[in-house]
Amino acid sequence: MPRHPGACACRIAALNKLRTQTKNQLHAAEQTATTPSTSLIVELHHSTPNLEANIEHLRQQVLALIASEEELQQIFELPSASPATAAASHPAPR
Protein backbone atom coordinates (compact mmCIF):
# COMPACT_ATOMS: atom_id res chain seq x y z
CA MET A 1 0.00 0.00 0.00
CA PRO A 2 1.34 3.48 -0.81
CA ARG A 3 2.40 5.66 2.10
CA HIS A 4 0.01 8.34 0.95
CA PRO A 5 -3.67 7.47 0.50
CA GLY A 6 -4.00 9.71 -2.56
CA ALA A 7 -3.13 6.89 -4.97
CA CYS A 8 -5.85 4.71 -3.48
CA ALA A 9 -8.31 7.60 -3.61
CA CYS A 10 -7.67 7.93 -7.35
CA ARG A 11 -8.20 4.18 -7.82
CA ILE A 12 -11.41 4.29 -5.76
CA ALA A 13 -12.68 7.15 -7.95
CA ALA A 14 -11.88 5.14 -11.09
CA LEU A 15 -13.63 2.06 -9.68
CA ASN A 16 -16.69 4.15 -8.79
CA LYS A 17 -16.84 5.42 -12.37
CA LEU A 18 -16.49 1.88 -13.72
CA ARG A 19 -19.22 0.65 -11.36
CA THR A 20 -21.58 3.35 -12.66
CA GLN A 21 -20.77 2.45 -16.26
CA THR A 22 -21.36 -1.23 -15.52
CA LYS A 23 -24.73 -0.52 -13.91
CA ASN A 24 -25.73 1.62 -16.89
CA GLN A 25 -24.68 -1.13 -19.31
CA LEU A 26 -26.65 -3.68 -17.30
CA HIS A 27 -29.76 -1.51 -17.37
CA ALA A 28 -29.40 -0.99 -21.14
CA ALA A 29 -28.85 -4.71 -21.75
CA GLU A 30 -31.91 -5.63 -19.69
CA GLN A 31 -34.06 -3.13 -21.59
CA THR A 32 -32.89 -4.15 -25.05
CA ALA A 33 -34.85 -6.92 -26.72
CA THR A 34 -31.96 -7.58 -29.10
CA THR A 35 -29.37 -8.43 -26.42
CA PRO A 36 -27.62 -11.40 -28.05
CA SER A 37 -27.46 -13.60 -24.98
CA THR A 38 -28.06 -13.65 -21.29
CA SER A 39 -24.34 -14.23 -20.71
CA LEU A 40 -23.73 -10.49 -21.05
CA ILE A 41 -26.40 -9.72 -18.46
CA VAL A 42 -25.04 -12.40 -16.13
CA GLU A 43 -21.49 -11.06 -16.47
CA LEU A 44 -22.62 -7.51 -15.73
CA HIS A 45 -24.59 -8.73 -12.69
CA HIS A 46 -21.43 -10.41 -11.36
CA SER A 47 -19.19 -7.43 -12.07
CA THR A 48 -21.03 -4.93 -9.88
CA PRO A 49 -20.54 -6.76 -6.54
CA ASN A 50 -16.89 -7.39 -7.42
CA LEU A 51 -16.33 -3.70 -8.08
CA GLU A 52 -18.11 -2.80 -4.85
CA ALA A 53 -15.93 -5.27 -2.93
CA ASN A 54 -12.77 -3.78 -4.46
CA ILE A 55 -13.90 -0.25 -3.56
CA GLU A 56 -14.66 -1.27 0.03
CA HIS A 57 -11.35 -3.14 0.36
CA LEU A 58 -9.36 -0.10 -0.78
CA ARG A 59 -11.43 2.18 1.44
CA GLN A 60 -10.70 0.00 4.46
CA GLN A 61 -6.98 -0.04 3.61
CA VAL A 62 -6.90 3.75 3.42
CA LEU A 63 -8.73 4.09 6.74
CA ALA A 64 -6.28 1.63 8.35
CA LEU A 65 -3.31 3.54 6.95
CA ILE A 66 -4.70 6.82 8.28
CA ALA A 67 -5.37 5.25 11.68
CA SER A 68 -1.81 3.88 11.87
CA GLU A 69 -0.01 7.14 11.11
CA GLU A 70 -0.30 10.16 13.37
CA GLU A 71 0.69 12.58 10.60
CA LEU A 72 -2.08 11.28 8.34
CA GLN A 73 -4.56 11.44 11.23
CA GLN A 74 -3.77 15.13 11.62
CA ILE A 75 -4.11 15.77 7.89
CA PHE A 76 -7.49 14.05 7.69
CA GLU A 77 -8.81 15.24 11.05
CA LEU A 78 -10.25 18.58 9.91
CA PRO A 79 -12.17 17.39 6.82
CA SER A 80 -13.84 14.62 8.81
CA ALA A 81 -15.32 17.29 11.09
CA SER A 82 -17.60 18.32 8.22
CA PRO A 83 -20.82 16.25 8.20
CA ALA A 84 -20.76 15.98 4.40
CA THR A 85 -17.16 14.75 4.34
CA ALA A 86 -17.78 12.35 7.19
CA ALA A 87 -20.79 10.90 5.37
CA ALA A 88 -18.75 10.49 2.19
CA SER A 89 -15.86 8.77 3.93
CA HIS A 90 -18.11 6.59 6.11
CA PRO A 91 -21.18 5.82 3.99
CA ALA A 92 -24.13 4.14 5.61
CA PRO A 93 -24.42 0.42 4.84
CA ARG A 94 -26.90 -0.58 2.16
Helix or strand or coil: residue 30? Answer: helix
pLDDT score of 86 more than 60 = no
Using an 8 Å Cβ cutoff, are 2 and 62 in contact? no
Q: Environment class of residue 25 by beta-carbon count within 10 Å: exposed (0-12), middle (13-18) or buried (19+)?
A: middle
pLDDT of residue 23 exceeding 70, the answer is yes
Distance CA 80, CA 12 (A): 18
2 three-class SS: coil
Q: Please, are residues 43 and 3 in contact by the beta-carbon 8 Å criterion? A: no
Dump pLDDT digits (tens) for 36-85. Answer: 678 888 899 999 999 999 999 999 998 888 888 888 888 777 555 555 55
Question: According to the model, what pLDDT value does residue 74 have?
Answer: 81
